[in-house]
Structure 1
Amino acid sequence: MELSLPQWGQLFTLLMIAVALGTDAFSLGIGIGMRGVLVREALKISGMIGFFHVMLPLLGITVGRYLGSLVENIAVITGGGLLCFLGLNMIYQAFRSGKEVRVFHTATPLGIVVFSLGVSLDSLSAGLSLGLFEADAILAVLLFGTVGGLMACTGLLLGRNVGSWIGDYGEAVGGIILISLGLRFLL
């Protein structure tokens, strides 16, 4: 089966969008990985990110024609605010004394879902945009999910190794990364 020139163009475009969406997952994965994650946790987190990178664009494609730019702006603002909150919490946890219960921790199921959803909210915006065009929805969401999950896992494992070099302040560095990416969405 040979692809036509427009099909190659669509495949290339969707792959570039998938990589662009995955860079946030990669960067945030490094930040979370610096805090120290087990390989099992990295696989759970990246799997959940891949899941949300499939479901949110699919939802976005479905409702894109109806809600357009209004939801795109809400998703970006919500995602940015969530990332800033998670980053501030990580910095707080890095410098706190004693062993209190964490508000956010990627080792808990709720923490994995909150983190993965925050990382994946920009894929909702991409889905909304694709909903306005005649893009192949199945190909798009499969690429988004696969690339997002793989880039998140790579970032988590890389951050895990870099975090051991940084020491106790790895979580604070990860928090700063989360805040800077969150501010990028907000500004």
Structure 2
Amino acid sequence: MNVEAILGELLTLLIMALALGMDAFSVGLGMGLIRLRARQILYIGITIGIFHIWMPLAGMLIGRVLSDTFGTIATLLGGGLLILLGVQMVFASFKKDEKPLITPVGFGLIVFALSVSLDSFSVGLSLGIYGAKTFLTVVIFGIVSMVLTWIGLLVGKRVQSWLGSYSEALGGSILLAFGIKLIFPF
């Protein structure tokens, strides 16, 4: 393989990683609108990066064996989880006396990371069918999504200080809208 072909493949994977990571940025922006400490932001970014490694890896491995029917199912599940998180955040913003049902800590972080990375499972299915380089692909996807998540969370945190009590409702609305967009692409 010549240098131009390798650079072309790297550029293609980077563009795909940026496209997949933009959902992590958007959702990170929404989640950043709730009060998060720097350590939580670090863990959230790392967790989403890890999910963006193993979800496309699982997709690539399965994609080499099965059809891409599961891509649609993964997208619908991811959209449904984001809608659930978004609705929960909007309702929690109006009930300040209660703790949110799902927060980006522990199991809530796993649900959050899973909902953001399910679309990368679909992409992994396609890449597995076409025989893409597995290690390079998942490392690029993981690093790009981790960095974009951190950027989204930090921007969201900055905006949260400006919006005050409305920031959690706005963050929930962003997650809700993104979940609807995943289920009903328009």
2:103 to 102, 105, 128: 105
CA distance in 2, matches of 1:23, 1:45: 15
- What is the CA deviation profile of residues 160-181 of structure 1, one whole-angstrom value per residue up to 9, with x for unaligned ones? 0011101101010001100111
- What is the CA deviation profile of residues 36-81 of structure 1, one whole-angstrom value per residue up to 9, with x for unaligned ones? 2111000000000000000011100000033332100000000000
CA distance in 2, matches of 1:104, 1:25: 17
CA distance in 2, matches of 1:14, 1:104: 33
Equivalences, count: 184
Secondary structure at the aligned position of 1:66 is classed as: coil
1:123 to 103, 120, 133: 120
Check conservation: 1:23, 1:151, Cα contact below 8 A: yes
Aligned residues: CA RMSD? 1.3
User: In the alignment, which residue of structure 2 is the partner of 1:158?
Assistant: 155
User: In the alignment, which residue of structure 2 is the partner of 1:132?
Assistant: 129
Gaps of 5+ in 2: none
Which residue identity lines up with residue 132 of structure 1 in the other structure? I
User: In the alignment, which residue of structure 1 is the partner of 2:32?
Assistant: 33
Check conservation: 1:85, 1:179, Cα contact below 8 A: yes
Which residue identity lines up with residue 49 of structure 1 in the other structure? I
CA distance in 2, matches of 1:114, 1:55: 15
Once the two structures are superposed, the pairs formed by residues 1-187 of structure 1 within 5 Å of their partners are 4-99=3-98, 101-106=99-104, 108-187=105-184
CA distance in 2, matches of 1:131, 1:153: 28
- Per-residue deviation, 1:97: 4.7
CA distance in 2, matches of 1:34, 1:148: 19
Identical amino acids, percent of aligned pairs: 42
TM-score (norm 2): 0.95
Gaps of 5+ in 1: none
TM-score (norm 1): 0.95
- Per-residue deviation, 1:32: 0.4
